Amino acid sequence: MKAFLVANPKGGSGKSTLATNLAGYFANRGNEVMLGDIDRQQSSREWLGIRPFALPTIDTWAVGHDNVSRPPKGTTHVVLDTPAGLHGKMLERVLKLSTRVIVPVQPSMFDMLATRHFLTELLSEKAVRKGKADVAVIGMRVDARTRAAGELERFFATFELPVLAYLRDTQTYVQATAAGMTLFDLPRSRAERDIEQWRAIIDWAEAG
């Protein structure tokens, strides 16, 4: 079973967008996918509630902020959406369920400051130090023409971590989410540019 933890202590960093679309990719590949949500806001769980039945199935299980339990047997891929402020014992507990960790970061000074502290803590965790959980970062809502994009790139360069992608700021994600969908459920012509940005994410997720 492959288990992906999507985490950043900063609220609004793009965790739920990343988690739902990653789950959507795996579901569209015919896998048995579980999307877990341990955020008190339960954004990902509510999104599952509006997902059309005709689309590839993404299930969930009894998991929450106070109940970080393992998914059911037979699950091939797990994606865990996490709350703002994740740290300490809770971080340690969710890492035990995870084989990969993806940290989404938006190009703002507040996001980078919060993420710097989190990455320092994350990289010191036993599961990461012993190679049981691989870590990568992704830039979210990035306009490559801006100074902020350059600052985010320099921020990432201070960590020896793979930078999987810089995802653009687009309404495609917003519109798909509102319909209970992901990029991978949309007509190819509508999502082609964004799916192209996901190629390195997919390669990393499928490796190993």
Fold (CATH) for 2-206: Rossmann fold (3.40.50)
Ramachandran angles phi, psi of 118, nearest 5°: -65, -45
The whole-number pLDDT of residue 199 equals 97
In Å, what is the CA distance from 25 to each residue of 12, 29, 68, 143, 152? 22, 6, 24, 24, 26
Q: What is the pLDDT of residues 109-138, one digit of tens each?
A: 999 999 999 999 999 999 999 888 999 999
Q: 136: closest CA among 119, 116, 152?
A: 119
| Domain limits, the chain | 2-206
pLDDT digits (tens, 9 = 90+) for 143-183: 988 999 999 999 999 999 999 999 999 999 999 999 999 99
Sign, CA dihedral 172-177-178-181, equals positive
Given a cut of 90, whether residue 26 has pLDDT beyond it is: yes
Phi/psi region, residue 12 (left: phi>0; alpha: psi -120 to 50; beta: rest), is left
Inform me whether the pLDDT recorded for 64 exceeds 60: no
